Amino acid sequence: MISRQLVLTYLYLLIYVCLSSGVILFNKWVLSPKYFKFPFPITLTMIHMAFSGVVTFFLVRVFKVVAPVKMTFQIYATCVIPISAFFASSLWFGNTAYLYISVAFIQMLKALMPVATFIMAVLCGTDKLRWDLFLNMVLVSVGVVVSSYGEIHFNIIGTLYQVTGIFAEALRLVLTQVLLQKKGLTLNPITSLYYIAPCSFIFLFVPWYLLEKPEMDVSQIQFNYWIFFLNAVAAFALNISIFLVIGRTGAVTIRVAGVLKDWILIALSTIIFPESVITSLNIIGYAVGNYAFNFI
């Protein structure tokens, strides 16, 4: 007999894989000038943050599903604000990359995440430089370089956006560990978004006002409220599912599930977006990177 807990674990993993893949493909479709034609990644990210902030406000303050943590100004200024800044940056740069490069290539570049996290952890003093890990990182990097060399529609701007987003996300993860644990704070999925989403929205407002607002012609924008509402709901659900999976299975399991998700997503993206072409060098490079990744 399969236990109920095991069934729930696999169900959470399935939900995470489906939501993660769905949000990535959904964002690509919305932002792509070839499909929905809404090439404003900062605006889309701000919609996600605004929606998450409003929903979590009602869950925490109105319906009292969860209780807010004891948040002082010092903790907010030294923890929430820097974490929100890098969270906003990772989403901004990551979503902007969809304008320039394919979903498949983006997933291959994400193999750099453990490398970026390791570098940031060493710089922040939470990890030590170990030669066995360093050699694995080099192998992962070689795999990404091979994948990049094999990319037919390689775009340096899109690649730089994605890599910058990866390092911003890595720094956010390290800061979360350093700052929140040092303060003894434990945030669940809802309270995390309750504090971080509004602050991230404010950080995104400045680049939006300077970069996207002058380019936005309201008369030419295709703004379907149902599309953006469903997109925001999917992004919110994904954030919740990540915390649920980590809480039930741990970071190692979600890392393995993420590798499986990436392979599925690469295959799906070539079907949904015909312009995404995968070469043998792409596959070899990504396989090498993942092989080294599994030993980290």
> Is the CB of residue 194 less than 8 Å from the CB of residue 65?
no
pLDDT of residue 5: 76
Give the whole-angstrom CA distance, residue 259 versus residue 16: 12
State yes or no: pLDDT of 296 exceeds 60. no
- Kindly indicate the confidence band of residue 95, based on its pLDDT and cuts at 50, 70 and 90: very high
* Cα–Cα distances in angstroms (integers) from residue 240 to residues 55, 144, 237, in the given order: 12, 29, 5
Highest-scoring range by mean pLDDT, 47-51, 167-171, 240-244, 248-252: 47-51
State yes or no: pLDDT of 31 exceeds 90. yes
- Torsion sign, CA atoms 53, 59, 64, 67: negative
> Is the CB of residue 214 less than 8 Å from the CB of residue 113?
no
User: What is the residue range of 38's domain?
Assistant: 4-294
Min mean pLDDT across 48-62, 156-170, 281-295 is at 281-295
State yes or no: pLDDT of 127 exceeds 60. yes
Min mean pLDDT across 220-234, 260-274, 275-289 is at 275-289
Instruction: Enter the DSSP assignment of 60.
Output: I
* Cα–Cα distances in angstroms (integers) from residue 271 to residues 39, 140, 153, in the given order: 22, 27, 16
Mean pLDDT throughout 272-279?
Answer: 75
Residue 277 in tokens: 């072409």
Label residue 2 exposed, middle or buried (CB < 10 Å: 0-12, 13-18, 19+). exposed
Encode burial over 71-109: b for 16+ CB neighbours within 10 A, e otherwise.
beeebeeebbbbbbbbbbbbbbbbbbbbbbbbbbbbbbb
Give the whole-angstrom CA distance, residue 37 versus residue 237: 24
Whole-number percent of the chain with pLDDT over 90:
35
pLDDT of residue 219: 59
CA nearest to 84, candidates 114, 125, 56, 49 = 49
Instruction: Enter the DSSP assignment of 210.
Output: I
- Find where tokens 């509004």 sit: 198
Torsion angle of the four alpha carbons 74, 77, 83, 85, in this order, in degrees rounded to the nearest 10:
180
Pick 143 or 78 by higher pLDDT.
Answer: 78
Min mean pLDDT across 36-40, 55-59, 266-270, 290-294 is at 290-294
Instruction: Please tell me the total count of domains within the chain.
Output: 1
State yes or no: pLDDT of 145 exceeds 70. no
Min mean pLDDT across 19-33, 131-145, 152-166, 187-201 is at 131-145
pLDDT of residue 236: 94
CA nearest to 144, candidates 269, 296, 293, 23 = 293
35-63 per-position pLDDT tens digit = 888 999 999 999 999 999 999 999 999 99
